Amino acid sequence: MAIWEYSPPATDLSKEYIASLKVGPTVAELLARLDFSDVEEARRFLDPRLGAIDCPFEIANLKKAAQRVSQAIDNRQSIAICGDYDVDGVTSTALMVAILQEFENYPAYIVPLRLEEGYGLSEKAVERALNKANQPDLFIALDCGTNSVEAVQRILDAGCEVIIVDHHQAKEELPEEVTLVNPHVNDRDSENHCQLCTVGLVFKLAHGILKIRRERGDPRAFEIKLRNYLDLVSMGTVADMVPLNKENRTFARIGLQVLSKTERIGLKNLMKVSGVAARHGVNPIDVSFRLGPRINASGRLADASVAVELILSDDPSFCMETSLQLDSFNRERQEIERAMTESAMQQIKSEQSEASGFVVYGDDWHPGVVGIVASRVSKAFNRPAIVLGREGDLAKGSGRSIEGVNLVEVLAPFSDRLENWGGHPMAVGISLKKERVPEFAAFFDKALAEYLATHQVEKTLQIAAWLRLEDINTKLMKDLSLLEPFGQANPEPVFGARRIRFGSKVTVFKDIHFRFTLPTRHHQVISGVAWKMADRIPPAKTPVDIAFRLVWNTFGNKKALQLELVDWRES
């Protein structure tokens, strides 16, 4: 069980929000936790406007990149685009290609083949892109390239100019001829720009191109509505788990509304096969657990350019066929993931059950799924886990941590024995010689034991506000929708309620979940569900405190308020 924490915000601030912003007390309390500088910043948060975003030319090198792209449009020059194979890379590529096509420039584009060409802007991927474009004049790398010095030099040697739009940290210095649009390298003082993922930066680049073309009187530029591209921006922004505040909030909030009404036939079909009920609105969960995994599955198992083609196509039969193909890839990915997770669990139980953290390796494990498996193993045992598969002579994979354990700090002493590694406190990617895996596993166990001995690591649950059951209604849900979409830097609130009696109206389903209903003092009934908690059903007669989220349960044409139980404790 987690330790529940609740720290009430300043009462005077909540009262100021209630008076100035005309919001209810619960929303005012949640706003007070978001640490705005003043009431006006909170007002802009509640009502983000596309017209209020920064001028794109405030981002270093973006004007230079926009001018070079505009020059390529004027001179009918050949362009090649290489984008990464995750949702951010796919949506970035689709957005860049679509904007260029509006100006009658039809670039060649590729997405790296993960299993054959490796990660990012590899030399193999570069060769394929150069050949496909027949030696282009301009090469644009999206969501990759910041650390690909050798591959970039190969492009320059071929006589191409290079633009890189990326948001990854720099480990190496690129040739000075490259135009690099990357706030993490050039705009470190701008918190707003550093939070953008690549598709957000590509949107900014598109905005810059339009400004330049409009200044030159290009009639095509006046016909383009940038708002219509926010469906792509919202998908990449949500899937890449960047902070959903500042401009990202604008992109995600407006973009999800655009996505729910998108005219893109490919996205309509993908939502249909994914079970996304767009008529009820599209939310971050739809992107993270339905649309995103199907796009990612094409990159993990096959060729992510298929997903780009789906987004760009206006052929109904192709779009339905491709959507079904992505759905099939996703089911295949789930089967591979299930088998790998089961194998990893067995390995842990037989060899490492007492370890502080796990390193598991499978010679035939698919490298495109190791990160998902690491996440599942870590959650199952509440311990850090690193899952490795074989890639040639290397063991390559991903690690996932638990709250309070910084994986980067833990792994640093072993870094000189790793072939490659990087990441952040909660997730890392590593590769090492296969024969070093046992040595690495022993190190990881020992290093974690030492870390845990000197750091306090306890699972905590932050209660955003305490509610009475009778306060939970459609009016509250409408108020809470002002704060959506939830995500990084704007977490979905977990509420608490005291002295709740469950009674006997509990129904277990699929052996691991249970449904329940709770009566209010106003003789109404609230329906609820507890996922994977059938082994912890609250006592029938003893009053308990509950922690829960509030969601809309949409099915068919119906939409019902539902309480999702997160935890409970005796009152």
DSSP code string of 109-173: EE---HHHH-SSS-HHHHHHHHHHTTS-SEEEEES--TT-HHHHHHHHHTT-EEEEE--SPPSSP
At 505, is the pLDDT very low, low, confident or very high (cuts 50, 70, 90)? confident
CB distance 500 to 544 below 8 Å: yes
pLDDT at 554: 78
359-414 residue pLDDT tens: 999 999 987 789 899 999 999 999 999 999 998 899 999 999 998 899 999 999 99
Residue of 76 and 488 predicted with greater confidence: 76
Mean pLDDT of 240-247: 92
- The candidate with the shortest Cα–Cα distance to 91, out of 168, 128, 143, is 143
Q: How much is the pLDDT for 318?
A: 98
Question: What single letter denotes the amino acid at residue 528?
Answer: G
Percent of the chain at pLDDT exceeding 90: 82
Q: Please give the pLDDT value at position 422.
A: 79
**Topology classification of domain 352-458:** Diaminopimelate Epimerase; Chain A, domain 1 (3.10.310)
Label residue 189 by pLDDT band (50, 70, 90): confident
Q: Report the chain's mean pLDDT, rounded to a whole number.
A: 93
Q: Which range among 144-148, 162-166, 525-529, 541-545 has the greatest average pLDDT?
A: 162-166
Using 50, 70 and 90 to split pLDDT, how confident is the model at 556? low
Nearest alpha carbon to residue 154 among 115, 125, 120 = 125
pLDDT at 445 over 90: yes
Helix (H) or strand (E) holding 83: strand 79-83
DSSP output for 457-504:
---EEE--EE--GGG-SHHHHHHHGGGPSPBTTBPPP-EEEEEE--TT
Whether pLDDT at 496 is above 80: yes
CATH of 53-326, one of 2.60.40.10, 3.40.50.970, 3.30.70.1110, 3.90.1640.30: 3.90.1640.30
d(CA 395, CA 417): 13
Cα 247 to Cα 81: distance, rounded to the nearest angstrom:
25
**Residue predicted with more confidence, 280 or 255:** 255
Question: What pLDDT is recorded for position 553?
Answer: 87
CB contact at 8 A, 39 and 190: no
pLDDT of residue 515: 96
Question: What was the pLDDT predicted at 220?
Answer: 98
Which residues face 553 on adjacent strands? 560
Distance CA 168, CA 567 (A): 36
What average pLDDT score do residues 142-151 get? 94
Q: Give the pLDDT mean for 464-492.
A: 94
Report pLDDT for 370.
92
Q: Provide φ and ψ at 560, rounded to 5°.
A: -130, 140
- The CATH code for residues 3-44+462-570 is 2.40.50.460
Q: With beta carbons less than 8 A apart as the criterion, state whether 161 and 68 touch.
A: yes
Residue 302: is its pLDDT beyond 80?
Answer: yes
pLDDT of residue 181: 98
Work out the average pLDDT over 228-239. Answer: 97
| Domain ranges for the chain | 3-44+462-570, 53-326, 352-458
Q: How far is CA 248 from CA 92, 427, 489, in A?
A: 15, 22, 11
Tell me the whole-structure pTM to 2 decimals.
0.91
Residue 118 reports pLDDT greater than 80 = no
